[in-house]
Amino acid sequence: MNVFLGEIIGYLSGACTMLAFLPQTIKSITTKNVSGLSMYMYIIYCIGLVFWILYGVYLHSFQIILFNSITLIFNVIILYMIIESILKSKKK
Protein backbone atom coordinates (compact mmCIF):
# COMPACT_ATOMS: atom_id res chain seq x y z
CA MET A 1 0.00 0.00 0.00
CA ASN A 2 1.40 3.38 -0.86
CA VAL A 3 1.86 6.09 1.79
CA PHE A 4 -0.77 8.42 0.30
CA LEU A 5 -3.46 5.72 0.39
CA GLY A 6 -2.51 4.92 3.98
CA GLU A 7 -2.87 8.59 4.93
CA ILE A 8 -6.29 8.81 3.27
CA ILE A 9 -7.45 5.67 5.09
CA GLY A 10 -6.15 7.13 8.37
CA TYR A 11 -8.08 10.38 7.90
CA LEU A 12 -11.27 8.62 6.81
CA SER A 13 -11.23 6.15 9.70
CA GLY A 14 -10.50 8.91 12.21
CA ALA A 15 -13.25 11.11 10.80
CA CYS A 16 -15.80 8.28 10.93
CA THR A 17 -14.90 7.40 14.52
CA MET A 18 -15.08 11.03 15.59
CA LEU A 19 -18.34 11.71 13.76
CA ALA A 20 -19.95 8.64 15.36
CA PHE A 21 -20.07 10.50 18.69
CA LEU A 22 -21.26 13.83 17.31
CA PRO A 23 -25.00 12.95 17.12
CA GLN A 24 -25.01 11.68 20.73
CA THR A 25 -23.20 14.79 21.91
CA ILE A 26 -25.62 17.10 20.11
CA LYS A 27 -28.65 15.16 21.37
CA SER A 28 -27.35 15.18 24.95
CA ILE A 29 -26.72 18.92 24.86
CA THR A 30 -30.05 19.82 23.27
CA THR A 31 -32.28 17.51 25.34
CA LYS A 32 -30.24 17.69 28.57
CA ASN A 33 -31.17 14.02 28.96
CA VAL A 34 -28.38 11.53 29.63
CA SER A 35 -30.40 9.14 31.78
CA GLY A 36 -29.88 6.15 29.50
CA LEU A 37 -26.13 6.57 29.16
CA SER A 38 -23.55 4.61 31.14
CA MET A 39 -21.12 6.71 33.16
CA TYR A 40 -18.69 3.81 33.41
CA MET A 41 -18.62 3.30 29.65
CA TYR A 42 -17.77 6.96 29.11
CA ILE A 43 -15.08 6.90 31.81
CA ILE A 44 -13.43 3.84 30.28
CA TYR A 45 -13.76 5.24 26.77
CA CYS A 46 -12.20 8.56 27.81
CA ILE A 47 -9.28 6.72 29.40
CA GLY A 48 -8.87 4.70 26.20
CA LEU A 49 -8.88 7.89 24.13
CA VAL A 50 -6.15 9.39 26.31
CA PHE A 51 -4.03 6.31 25.66
CA TRP A 52 -4.74 6.55 21.91
CA ILE A 53 -3.59 10.17 21.99
CA LEU A 54 -0.41 9.18 23.83
CA TYR A 55 0.14 6.41 21.28
CA GLY A 56 -0.31 8.97 18.49
CA VAL A 57 2.28 11.21 20.12
CA TYR A 58 4.65 8.24 20.36
CA LEU A 59 4.14 7.46 16.66
CA HIS A 60 4.11 11.14 15.63
CA SER A 61 0.75 10.44 13.98
CA PHE A 62 -1.25 13.60 13.40
CA GLN A 63 -4.41 11.65 12.49
CA ILE A 64 -4.42 9.61 15.70
CA ILE A 65 -3.79 12.68 17.85
CA LEU A 66 -6.32 14.91 16.05
CA PHE A 67 -9.30 12.63 15.79
CA ASN A 68 -8.93 11.04 19.21
CA SER A 69 -8.57 14.50 20.79
CA ILE A 70 -11.79 15.70 19.17
CA THR A 71 -13.57 12.47 20.14
CA LEU A 72 -12.27 12.91 23.70
CA ILE A 73 -13.81 16.40 23.83
CA PHE A 74 -17.19 15.02 22.72
CA ASN A 75 -17.00 12.24 25.31
CA VAL A 76 -15.89 14.53 28.15
CA ILE A 77 -18.89 16.79 27.44
CA ILE A 78 -21.25 13.82 27.71
CA LEU A 79 -19.44 12.43 30.77
CA TYR A 80 -19.68 15.83 32.47
CA MET A 81 -23.41 15.91 31.78
CA ILE A 82 -23.85 12.39 33.17
CA ILE A 83 -21.97 13.22 36.38
CA GLU A 84 -23.88 16.50 36.73
CA SER A 85 -27.17 14.60 36.31
CA ILE A 86 -26.18 12.06 38.99
CA LEU A 87 -25.18 14.80 41.42
CA LYS A 88 -28.46 16.69 40.83
CA SER A 89 -30.52 13.54 41.43
CA LYS A 90 -28.71 12.87 44.73
CA LYS A 91 -29.51 16.39 45.99
CA LYS A 92 -33.25 15.74 45.70
**pLDDT digit string (tens) for 13-69?**
999 999 999 999 999 999 999 999 999 999 999 999 999 999 999 999 999 999 999
- Angle in degrees, CA 37, 54, 28, rounded to 5: 20
The pTM score is: 0.91
- The answer on pLDDT for 1 being more than 70 is no
Q: Which domains does the chain have, with CATH numbers?
A: 3-91 (1.20.1280.290)
